[in-house]
Amino acid sequence: MIISIDGSSGSGKGTLARGLCGMYHFKHIDSGLLYRKVAYYYLHAKEDLKDVHSFIKNIDKINLDEVSESILRSEDVAQKASEIAVHEIVRNYVNDEIKRLVIDQSSEYKGFVIDGRDIGSVVFPNADVKLFLHASEDDRLTRRIQQNIELKIDTSHVVDLQNRDTRDSTRKIAPLVVPSGSVVIDTSLMSIQETLSKAKEIIDMNL
Ligand code: DC
């Protein structure tokens, strides 16, 4: 079973995905984290790999798992992830990785919860359950600051959330949209528990 969760930064996708995976013993794939890994290594790439195309063509030589999550969650990496995510070659690489992870682990897990911006629209348009999370800007900002505090990340650049959301929603390839057939959940006034119960209701109808 494939469950897609799309939405803008700080809408609660990660928290919901982790909660659902705990509940159903499904595997969580955080596509934003994959873009962040690519962005981190791109930021630190040698001069001759500063062209995105050459970088992606050589990416198999890098072990993308050597950097800590708190570094990947920093604002610098987030901004760079949003910038490189406009390139088709980067999106194709990440989308192939997501599909490979699903295939490789399909004997271990009965379901996958995949969160991002284009999962229900582009990567898995036939997902069994498509969720789209919406939250007010104030709530999203508060959550992102809270997450940064928990991960001990400097919060001084966090206001760029809007800049990133605008880029993610207006890019030509795979912009953030409400995928057709998705259920929109407005998490602004909902607790984590309420959001989880609502999502569980929808998933149980499709099990
Ligand atoms: O979900 P996140 O904030 O960790 O994502 C970081 C950036 O990666 C986001 O600003 C845009 C990009 N991204 C994307 O373009 N498509 C996805 N499916 C997930 C993330």
Nearest CA to ligand 1 atom 2: 32
Report the pLDDT averaged over residues 129-145. 89
Closest C-alpha residue for ligand 1 atom 13 = 32
Task: Give dist(CA 67, CA 70) in Å, integer.
Answer: 9
Side-chain-facing half-sphere of 62: CA atoms under 13 Å = 19
Domain boundaries, the chain: 2-201
CATH top-level class of 2-201: alpha beta
Nearest C-alpha to atom 10 of ligand 1 is from which residue? 82
Torsion of CA 200, 7, 116, 143, to 10 degrees: -90
Looking at residue 1, what is its pLDDT? 98
Distance CA 23, CA 10 (A): 22
Question: How large is the average pLDDT for residues 95-103?
Answer: 98
User: 69: CA distance to ligand 1 center in Å?
Assistant: 15
List pocket residues of ligand 1, CB cut-off 6 Å.
9, 31-33, 35-36, 78, 81-82, 85, 116-119, 164, 168
Share of the chain above pLDDT 90, in %: 80
Give pLDDT tens digits for 104-118.
999 999 999 999 999
Asked whether the whole model's pTM tops 0.75, one would answer yes
30 Cα: distance to centroid of ligand 1 (angstroms): 9
- Give the atom of ligand 1 at the shortest distance from the alpha carbon of 78: 6
Looking at residue 184, the DSSP 8-state letter turns out to be E
**Residue 156 in this model has a pLDDT that exceeds 70:** no
Question: Relative to the CA of 118, which ligand 1 atom is closest?
Answer: 18
| Average pLDDT for the chain | 94
Tell me the CA distances in angstroms from 156 to 69, 144, 179, one per residue in order. Answer: 18, 12, 33
Of the chain, the percentage scoring pLDDT greater than 70 comes to: 98
For a mutational test of ligand 1's pocket, the pick from 31, 93, 124, 162, i.e. the residue with the most ligand atoms closer than 8 A to its C-beta, is: 31
- For 31-38, what is the mean pLDDT? 98
Give 49-89 pLDDT, tens digit per residue: 899 999 999 999 999 999 999 999 998 999 999 999 999 99
Determine which residue's CA is closest to atom 20 belonging to ligand 1.
32
**pLDDT value of residue 159:** 54
pLDDT digits (tens, 9 = 90+) for 64-74: 999 999 999 99
